Structure 1
Amino acid sequence: MRALIRTGDKSPETLTLDPNHPEPTPNDHPECYIIRTKACALTREELTWAEPKGPDAPVPGLDLAGEIISAPQSQGEHKFKPGDEVYALTTFTWKGNARDITVAHETELALKPEGLGWEETASVPLSALSAYQGLFVHGALKPPKEGKNTGKRVLITAASGGVGLWGVQLAHQAGADVVGTCGTSNVDFVKSLGVDTVLDYRKVDLLEWVSVDRAARGFDVVLDCIGGVTLTDAWKCAREGAKVVSVAEPPNPKRPEDGVAEGVLGVWFIVEPNGAQLAEVTDLLEQKKCQAVVDSVYELAQFEEAFKKLEEGHAKGKIILKVGA
C-alpha cells in the first residue's frame, strides 16, 4: 500500500511516498479496526511534535475519515461493523493516516456525519476535539447538550484557524457570549461562525479594548490558539476566577507579574482522542448548527505542495490529503 513516511529529521523535506509500505493486519492489531482511508488532515508543525513512543517510520495526518474493513478480533460486541463510514482523531503514539490502510481503536471512532464529504469530515476531529476539550473539559463550560452558559464570556484567539473556528462555533452553541480575534481578511468569515464580537487584531489592540470596561468586557474563559504576546495579554483580559486555556503553548510562563485578576488559572493540555465527544460534534454538524471548513485539498502524491501550503500559515480551515477514491 501507499504511505507517506518520514525518513529523517522532523521536517517536510524528509517525507517520502512509499508505494510498498507494509499494510496493517488484524493479526498485528487485534484490538483495532482496520480502515480504508479516504482522507486525512494535516496540522501545522505536527512533524515537530515529540514522539516518546513513536514508530520508526512516522506517518503524518492524525485526522482520519474512512471506511471500516474489519472489526477487532477480540470477543464481544463491537460498536462498528465492516462498511461503516467513520472518522476519528487517532492516537499520537502510532502511525498517522496518510496511508491507504490504517487502524483505530473503538474509543476513538464516531460515525461519519451524514451529508458531509470525506474531505470535510477529515477536517473535523483534531480541531473540534481541541476546542471541545479546551472549553468544556478544561475551561469548565457546559457543553451544548447540557445547558446554556448564560452570562459567560469567552475569548477565542486566532478565531479563523483550525481550532479557533471550532472554538467560536462550540462556544456559541453552548450559549456563551463569544469574542474572536482574527485578521482583516477573515472578519466576515468569523462573523459567519456565530461570534458575537470580532476584533481585527490589525486595527484593535485586545488589551486596550478590554481595558475600556474590564467588568463588562473581561472573560470567564480564554481559549488561546496563538500563544506569544497575545497569550500574555489574555491573562490581563480574564475575569476573577477565569481559566486561560491554551493549545499553543503553556500559559503559566506567559503570566504577567501584575495586572491579573484574582484566582485566574492557566491550563495547557494536549488533545486526546475521544469518539463520544466527536459524536456530539457529529450531531451539531448533522443539524447544521456547525460547519466543517476546508482550506484546500491535495492528492496524496501532492504532499509536498500540501505541506508547503501548511507551513506558510494563515490557512482558513484545514488542509486535506485525499487518499482513497
Structure 2
Amino acid sequence: MEEPEEGATTQHRRDRATYDMWKKKNSTACITLLSSMDNDPMTKYREYELAKDIWSTHATKFGDIDYNYSYACFSFITSSSNDDVNTGGGLAEFAVAKESLTVRRPPEVSAAEGAGLPVAGLTAHQALTQSAGIKLDGSGKETNILITAASGGVGHYAVQLAKLGNTHVTATCGARNIEFVKSLGADEVLDYKTPDGAALKSPSGRKYDAVIHCASAMPWSTFEPNLSSNGKVIEITPGPSTLLSFALGKLTFSKKQFVPLLLIAKKENLDFLVKLVKEGKLKTVIDSKHPLSKAEAAWAKSIDGHATGKIIVEP
C-alpha cells in the first residue's frame, strides 16, 4: 500500500489515518468497503489499491482471490479500542474491522443493502432464533409473534425473517406504513395510535408466544395480558427498568418474562443474512440515503424515529 502524501484536504487526512491504522493492525484487521457504489474513478481506484494490499497480506486467510474490484466486503464495526486504535465508527470512507465479523458481499447485493445488515439484521435474527427459538427453515410448531415498530430498521427485517419460520406475525406501525408492513409478510397489522394498537391486542384474539419489541419503552402491564402462558417480551434496547423486570421475573419464577437482548455478532449469521438477500428472500428497505458530508441529517432522521426501513450514509 502506497503511503499517502501529506496534504491539506480532508481526504488526505483520512487516507493518512487509515494508512497509519493499517500499519499497526495489519495482522488482525481488514477494511470494509461500503463505498463501492461511488462512481468516482479516483474513489474506485483508491479502494481497489487498498483492497489489493489487504487481500495480499491476508492471502492465507482469504484464499486465492483475484484482485478484482468487484470483490467487496462489509462488516459489523465494533466500538472497542485496542492498542490505541479505535475500531468503532462506520461513518468514514474506510473503517477498520475484525476479520471474524467480515463477510464477502456478492455482486447481487448492493453496498447499501449490505450496510443495513450488520446491526439491524443481526439483531432481528438473534431475537427470533435465539431469544424466541424460531427455526427459519419453517419447521417446528406455529408460534405467535408480535413485532412492534415493524416498519423500522430492525422491525422490517424481523417481519421478513419471522415469516421464514412457522409463525403467525402480528405487527404494529404507523397508519401510513400498514400496507408496507403487510407487503413484508405480516399476517395482522395494528396502527399503534388506535386503542387496540396501543393495547397490543391481536385482531384475531391470539396470545403472543414472543414479542420482538423494537419500539420505545412500554410498561409490563401492557404486554402481560397479551402473552401466552410462557410468553416472553424480547427487548432489543433494554434499559434499567427492563433489566429490573427481568431480574424480578427470575426471582419469582414467572413463566412470562422480559428478556433483554444483548447483540452478539457472529460471522456465520451475517453470512446467512447475505445469502438470503442474494436469493431474494430478504430485502433491505432503504428509507433514505445521505452523503457522508451530511451525516448530521441522517442522524436527525434516525433520532426522529419515523424512518421506514434503513437510513444509509454513503461516502
User: Under a length normalisation based on structure 1, what TM-score does the superposition of the two structures give?
Assistant: 0.75
Using the alignment, how far apart are the partners of 2:95 and 2:267 within structure 1? 17
Letter in 2 for 1:199: L
Higher mean C-alpha displacement, 19-28 vs 269-278: 19-28
- State the shift of 1:212 in Å: 8.3
Q: Per chain length, whose mean CA-contact separation is higher, i.e. which structure has more relative contact order (CA < 8 Å, sep 6+)?
A: 1
- State the shift of 1:165 in Å: 0.6
Per-residue deviation, residues 119-178 of structure 1 (Å, max 9, x unmatched) = 222122211100000111122222x24x42432111100000100111111111112111
Tell me which structure has the larger Cα radius of gyration: 2
Partner of residue 245 from structure 1, selected from 218, 230, 234 = 234
Using the alignment, how far apart are the partners of 2:36 and 2:229 within structure 1? 43
Which structure has more strand as a fraction of its residues?
Answer: 1
SS of equivalent residue, structure 2 residue 119? helix
Using the alignment, how far apart are the partners of 1:313 and 1:175 within structure 2? 30
Q: Residue 232 and residue 87 in structure 1: after superposition, are their counterparts in 2 closer, same or farther (change >3 A)?
A: farther
Using the alignment, how far apart are the partners of 1:135 and 1:92 within structure 2? 24
Using the alignment, how far apart are the partners of 1:302 and 1:207 within structure 2? 35
Using the alignment, how far apart are the partners of 2:313 and 2:29 within structure 1? 23
Partner of residue 291 from structure 1, selected from 267, 283, 287 = 283
Partner of residue 99 from structure 1, selected from 92, 96, 105 = 92
Using the alignment, how far apart are the partners of 1:252 and 1:35 within structure 2? 34
Partner of residue 150 from structure 1, selected from 138, 141, 146 = 141
Instruction: Give the equivalent residue in structure 2 for 1:53.
Output: none
Instruction: Give the equivalent residue in structure 1 for 2:75.
Output: 88
Instruction: Give the equivalent residue in structure 1 for 2:45.
Output: none
- State the shift of 1:74 in Å: 6.9
Using the alignment, how far apart are the partners of 1:211 and 1:129 within structure 2? 27
Using the alignment, how far apart are the partners of 1:321 and 1:195 within structure 2? 28
- State the shift of 1:267 in Å: 1.3
Which structure has more helix as a fraction of its residues?
Answer: 2
SS of equivalent residue, structure 1 residue 38? coil
Q: Does 1:198 align with 2:185?
A: no
Instruction: Give the equivalent residue in structure 2 for 1:303.
Output: 295
Using the alignment, how far apart are the partners of 2:290 and 2:270 within structure 1? 25
SS of equivalent residue, structure 2 residue 62? coil
- State the shift of 1:311 in Å: 2.2
Using the alignment, how far apart are the partners of 2:51 and 2:212 within structure 1? 34
CA contact (8 A) 1:236 1:261 kept: no
Q: CA RMSD in A?
A: 3.2
Using the alignment, how far apart are the partners of 1:158 and 1:295 within structure 2? 14
Letter in 1 for 2:129: F
Q: Does 1:121 align with 2:114?
A: yes
SS of equivalent residue, structure 1 residue 133? helix
Instruction: Give the equivalent residue in structure 1 for 2:44.
Output: none
Aligned residue pairs total 278
Using the alignment, how far apart are the partners of 1:157 and 1:167 within structure 2? 10
SS of equivalent residue, structure 1 residue 210? coil
Q: Does 1:110 align with 2:103?
A: yes
User: Under a length normalisation based on structure 2, what TM-score does the superposition of the two structures give?
Assistant: 0.77
- State the shift of 1:71 in Å: 3.9
Per-residue deviation, residues 226-264 of structure 1 (Å, max 9, x unmatched) = 132266512332211222111122435458x99x99511
Instruction: Give the equivalent residue in structure 1 for 2:61.
Output: 77
Percent pairwise identity: 26
- State the shift of 1:72 in Å: 8.6
Instruction: Give the equivalent residue in structure 2 for 1:43.
Output: none
Instruction: Give the equivalent residue in structure 1 for 2:43.
Output: none
Partner of residue 218 from structure 2, selected from 229, 232, 238 = 229
Using the alignment, how far apart are the partners of 1:208 and 1:315 within structure 2? 23
SS of equivalent residue, structure 1 residue 169? helix
Using the alignment, how far apart are the partners of 2:295 and 2:170 within structure 1? 35
- State the shift of 1:79 in Å: 5.9
Using the alignment, how far apart are the partners of 1:245 and 1:73 within structure 2? 42
CA contact (8 A) 1:296 1:318 kept: yes
- State the shift of 1:293 in Å: 0.9
SS of equivalent residue, structure 1 residue 270? coil
CA contact (8 A) 2:191 2:197 kept: no
CA contact (8 A) 1:182 1:201 kept: yes
Q: Does 1:138 align with 2:131?
A: yes
Partner of residue 35 from structure 2, selected from 17, 35, 38 = 38
CA contact (8 A) 1:107 1:276 kept: no
Q: Tell me, which stretches of 5 or more residues in structure 1 are unaligned?
A: 2-16, 41-65
Letter in 2 for 1:296: S
Instruction: Give the equivalent residue in structure 2 for 1:316.
Output: 308
Letter in 1 for 2:280: K
